[in-house]
Amino acid sequence: MLASLALQRRSMPHSRSSTSFNRPPDRSDEDALFPDHQIAAMEPDPVAAGASSSPARLALHLIYSSSFFPAGFLLCEKKQVTQLAWCASSPQMTWRLVEWDFFLNLIAPVASRVPYMTAIGNHERDYVESGSVYVTPDLGGECGVAYESYFCMPAISKDKPWYSIEQGSVHFVVMSTEHKWSEMSEQYKWMNQDLSSVNRSRTPWIIFIGHRPMYSSHVGIPVNVDLTFVASVEPLLLKHQVDLVFFGHVHNYERTCVVYKNRCKGKPKKDASGIDTYDNNKYTAPVHATVRAGGFSLDKFPRIVLNKWSLSRVSEFGYARVHATRGDMLVQFVSSSTMEVLDQFRIVKPDPARRLWNKPV
């Protein structure tokens, strides 16, 4: 069952209006949206400093953290997005069900038109004795119960929120960075098996999605990048020739070169339109993009960034828009307020029929 169907029923229990639900056509070249967002938790932040715990403050948080949805609704209305609406991170509500009610009604105009898929993050899972890899109070005590109840993803079983789907020419792999991902874990074995089974003649692209990033230029406490996580999972991306990786967690947008183990394995070249273009005719490593600029306060980048793998950095609210054909993938980071494209890049590759896939590099 589509997550959008469950969301609509739950968030609008007394509504008598009818709603039509769309599903993507098979093997199409339709657009996909990656609106990474979270509703802000009811805790002090720079925007709401000095505000009391009141309806006005809650409204301020909702407005502040819902920058994607007006833009997403317009795109859905114009039928410019008929395939997939995705969030690379899930709503951040701690334990207050009233915030869930607000949020579910907020996303209904989008989630009722396209499949609305999610990837679990620290604010949906992490808490003391929750079984999370990271023992933090980020969730506020829910331990994933509300998230798993509202967002029914095609996972293999309860409390195993990793899954894969195919849409058009893309195979999507969604992991949980909050559940065990070491080489002996169930999730790691599943990722390896799923990536091994991809038919690249049918779905030439692989997009890998999780919450905590492997690369980030933002300097924060606690540290944003877990090197143990990177050491365990990054080799899988290279082994199975993943094309593009989307992460969230850090509240900004950042794009890398073709990168592996902190080293650039290749840089894009400008095409005739001036767009950075990565040539995957000879695969070397994936491109990483952190897209976590849809809500809550933004994380600013340091004035001087020494990471050679970091090619583009934006600290503005926005979302990623993806258009993939069988040989060309265009990714654009779009401002939620102005609809201006703030960064864009392409990945190109040959006809899958002429290439041997699934061979380790």
Residue 12: the pLDDT is: 40
Q: Report CA-CA distances (Å) from 250 to 224, 253, 259.
A: 7, 8, 19
The more confident residue out of 92 and 40 is 92
Residues 6+ apart with CB under 8 A from 186: 160, 180
- For residue 40, give the amino acid letter: A
Q: Is residue 187 part of a domain?
A: yes
The answer to whether position 195 is within a domain reads yes
Domain containing residue 177: CATH number: 3.60.21.10
Q: What is the dihedral of CA 183, 188, 189, 192, to 10 degrees?
A: -110
In terms of residue numbers, what domain contains 202? Answer: 3-10+30-354
Residue 276 located in a structural domain: yes
Least confident segment among 84-88, 199-203, 248-252, 291-295: 84-88
If pLDDT is split at 50, 70 and 90, which confidence band does 2 have?
A: very low
pLDDT score of 47 more than 50: no
Query: What is the pLDDT at residue 347?
Result: 98
pLDDT for position 342:
93
Which tens digit of pLDDT belongs to each residue from 179-223? 888 999 999 999 999 999 999 999 999 999 998 899 988 777 666
List 323's β-bridge partners, or say none. 31, 330
Residue 17 is assigned to a structural domain of this protein: no
196 found inside a domain: yes
CA distances from 196 to 26, 173, 181, 238, 359 (A): 22, 12, 17, 12, 9
Three-state DSSP at 59 gives helix
pTM for the model: 0.79
Domain count of the fold of the chain:
1
pLDDT, mean of residues 155-181 = 89
SS3 68: helix
